[in-house]
Structures are given as C-alpha cells and as structure tokens.
Structure 1
Amino acid sequence: MCESNVYLVDQQGEKTLVMESVDKVIPKEGDVYLENIFGERLTVKGHIKEMALVDHSILIAE
C-alpha cells in the first residue's frame, strides 16, 4: 500500500496525527489539501516539512 499518515508538527516538535491512510496531498498557498482512501477530505493550514514515504509519514509544519 502507498498510503501515509499525516502529522501536524508544532514549534516544539510535537507531532499530532491529522489523518490516516492519505493517498492525495496537494500543497496550496499556506494550506495542504489531504484526501484519504476512505474519501475523507481535509485542508490543513501549514506547509509540508518532510515526506518519509518508506515510513508512510508526512509532516506538516504550522
């Protein structure tokens, strides 16, 4: 499977799970649009900080 979990990272480096099984990530100006394999959609304020696809993890910084 190619899905990843998306985490929001705060300024102290703490990670909070935002969405699981994400298969679509679209960066926009100041936001990141997410969609998972279940059809759930979410827009998160921030930017992509790191993508570790082997670990199925995407980090978004505020």
Structure 2
Amino acid sequence: MCEANAYMVKNDEEILLMESVDLVEPEPDGTFRLVGIFGDQMTVKGKLKRMNLVDHRILFEA
C-alpha cells in the first residue's frame, strides 16, 4: 500500500491527524485537504513540514 499517516507536530510531539491518507491537496486558502482511502476527508491548517513516503508519514506543523 502507498498511503501514509498524517501527523501534526506540536512541541516536538507528533499527534495523529488521519490514518491511510491517499491524497494531500493544497487549497487556495493555504490549508491542505486530506483524503483517506475510504473517502474520509479533513482540512489541515498548517505548514507541510516533511513527507517521508518510505516510512508512510506526512508531517505538518502549526
């Protein structure tokens, strides 16, 4: 599988936002839309810090 888990980094702690993310799409307002493999969606306000697709991790920071 190619999906990844998305996390928000706050105070050096990683907080899980969504599992099995299939799509990360930047929105015009500066947020990111995350879509999971089952169609679930959420919007993340923050900066994309790192994507490590080998480890299946997407990191955002506030």
- The number of aligned residues is 61
Per-residue deviation, residues 12-50 of structure 1 (Å, max 9, x unmatched): 111100000000001234311100001100001102100
Q: How does 1:1-62 map to 2 (within 5 A)?
A: 1-10=1-10, 12-28=11-27, 29-62=29-62
Gaps of 5+ in 2: none
Q: TM-score, normalised by structure 1?
A: 0.91
RMSD of the alignment, in Å?
A: 0.9
Q: TM-score, normalised by structure 2?
A: 0.91
Q: Where has structure 1 moved over 4 Å in runs of 4 or more?
A: none
The more displaced of 24-33 and 36-45 is 24-33
Q: Could you tell me the percent identity over the aligned residues?
A: 52
Contact 1:27–1:47 under 8 Å retained in 2: no
